[in-house]
Amino acid sequence: MNRETKERKIKIEGKDYTSELFGNYDENMKIIENNFNVNIVSRESEIRIIGEEPAIDIVEKLIYKLIDMIDNQGSLTKQQVRYAIELLHEGQQDKIKHLLNDVICVTASGKTIKPKTLGQKSYIDAMKENDVVFGIGPAGTGKTYLAMAMAVAAFKNKQVDRIILTRPAVEAGESLGFLPGDLQDKVDPYLRPLYDALFDILGAETYGKYMERGLIEIAPLAYMRGRTLNSAFVILDEAQNTTAEQMKMFLTRLGFGSKAIITGDITQIDLPRGKGSGLKKVTKILKNVKGIDFSYLGKKDVVRHRLVQKIIEAYEDYEKKNEDKKNGKKKK
């Protein structure tokens, strides 16, 4: 039996949302039309949805949620439209408002930094509530950038006196000796992503001023040995490339009034063959310690180009098939 095609009108009063709502060349509405098999058109101060009854109801709810997002942040991206659709399919559309209201900090250029997915929201909540948080997930999920934003917010609110950012330089053994320049020149390439993120959040002038005063320190993990880090917001990035000994060394540096965020992707370990990842091991050792939180981000939390999510899925499928083949051989 064919369902009847109907039309629903949404009256838009006051502000004109059409441009942001529809996007460049109507790209946002095309995403919705393809997902729900409806047609959406704009007529002056009206939006008309044409399709079958159940789909029209869902799309109407979605459009009101998207208008809320525009009201809150002044813009709307294709990625946000796709994520809002996912939440609708999962019956979690009411959680969209939690993402909109949680501003971590404002960058020098006036951009608000806030969670874009429920996974990111959970990660931020974990950082607010715990002194040690492990942010584990694939590339593009905002693990490091959000931790940096939280560090800047804590510093500006005088919750800590300084920010310390560190990374293991995986090749910081003999191979660094062949690179030109002094030790700082040799380790800078490993630390460049940290400089870039801070520069984006703080702006050139503030960033330079804080670095000059020693209020921000960016250094290889090896520099942390023997220190006690008091009243600091400490971020260990690329933690999957620490050894078990390095991870223990880092975690035992934490002093009074400090917070440590450890980020990493256990699917991208660059350690030499035979060296176990300290991040992998610590998830088993500390999983039941109160005050320590493990926040796992997944492919749904990827906020880069939408193909990044598909790339992650393809790699996961490939690795699962290989694992199944290996297990099958073992059973034989």
Is the per-residue pLDDT at 174 higher than 50?
A: no
62 phi and psi, to 5 degrees? -60, -45
Contacts 24+ apart (CB under 8 A), 114-119: 114/73, 115/146, 116/79, 116/80, 116/83, 116/142, 116/303, 117/83, 117/300, 117/301, 117/303, 118/87, 118/92, 119/295, 119/296, 119/297, 119/298, 119/300, 119/301
111 and 69 belong to one structural domain: no
240 and 131 belong to one structural domain: yes
Q: Each residue of 263-300: pLDDT tens digit? A: 999 888 888 877 889 999 999 999 899 999 999 998 88
- Between CA 234 and CA 299 the distance in angstroms is 26
270 and 122 belong to one structural domain: yes
Instruction: Pick the most confident of 62-76, 171-185, 299-313.
Output: 62-76
249 domain-assigned: yes
Q: Each residue of 240-269: pLDDT tens digit? A: 999 999 999 999 999 999 999 999 998 888
Residue 175 confidence (pLDDT): 47
Share of the chain above pLDDT 90, in %: 36
Which one-letter DSSP state was computed for residue 74? S
Q: Each residue of 108-161: pLDDT tens digit? A: 888 888 888 889 999 999 999 999 999 999 988 999 999 999 999 999 999 999
329 domain-assigned: no
Q: What are 260's strand-pairing partners? A: 132, 234
107: helix, strand or coil = coil
Confidence of residue 92 (pLDDT cuts 50, 70, 90): confident
118 and 228 belong to one structural domain: yes
Number of domains the chain contains: 2
Residue 272 confidence (pLDDT): 81
| Domain edge (last residue) among 85, 101, 117 | 101
CATH number at residue 127: 3.40.50.300
**Alpha carbon 301 to its chain's center:** 6
Category of 91 on φ-ψ map: left (φ > 0), alpha (ψ -120 to 50) or beta: left
Query: Which one is predicted more confidently, 136 or 320?
Result: 136
Domain that residue 69 falls in: 5-101
Q: Which of 59-63, 64-68, 113-117, 317-321 has the lowest mean pLDDT?
A: 317-321
Query: Which one is predicted more confidently, 187 or 269?
Result: 269
